[in-house]
Amino acid sequence: MKRLALILTGALAVLLGACAPSTDITMRVPVQVLAVTVPQTMGDTVVVQGRNLGDGRTGGERANYVLFARTPDARDGQRVQVLSWTPNRIEFVSPDEAGTGWLIVVANGVRGEAFPISLP
C-alpha cells in the first residue's frame, strides 16, 4: 500500500511539474548597446556594438528593429535600414535627416535603453 501511495505521489508531482508555466529567460535578456561608430558623412554606415542583440530574424520585423528618435522615449522615432545584424553587431544606413538624437534597439521584442547619438 505504501508503495502504491509513493508511486501515485510521484506521478502527481511529475504531472503538476509538467503543467506549471515556464519562463524562457533567453527571451527576456536586456539589450545592451555598448558603443556606436558614426560615419563622417550622411548616408554612410553606422555600426552598433553590444550584447544580447539577437540575430535580427527571430520574431520577424515586428520584433527586431532599430529606431532613431529625437527623444529617449522613442516617440516619433523612425526605423532605420539595417544592413546586417548579428548578436554583437548591427550595421545600418545613417538616416537622411539624422543629427542629434537617440538610438533604440529592439531585439526579439525586448527594447533596449535609449543610447544618445549624434549623426552627420
- Ordered domains of the chain (ranges, CATH): 26-119 (2.60.40.10)
State the cell numbers at 98.
539624422
State the cell numbers at 118.
549624434
User: How far, in whole angstroms, is CA 102 from its chain's centroid?
Assistant: 16
Q: 11-48: per-residue pLDDT in tens?
A: 666 666 666 665 555 567 899 999 999 999 888 999 99
Q: What is the pTM of this model?
A: 0.76
Rounded to an integer, the average pLDDT of 78-102 is: 94
- Terminal-residue alpha carbon distance, the chain: 79
What's the confidence (pLDDT) of residue 6?
65
Residue 8: pLDDT above 70?
no
Q: How far apart are CA 85 and CA 71, in angstroms?
A: 24
Rg (CA), the chain: 22
DSSP state of 10: H
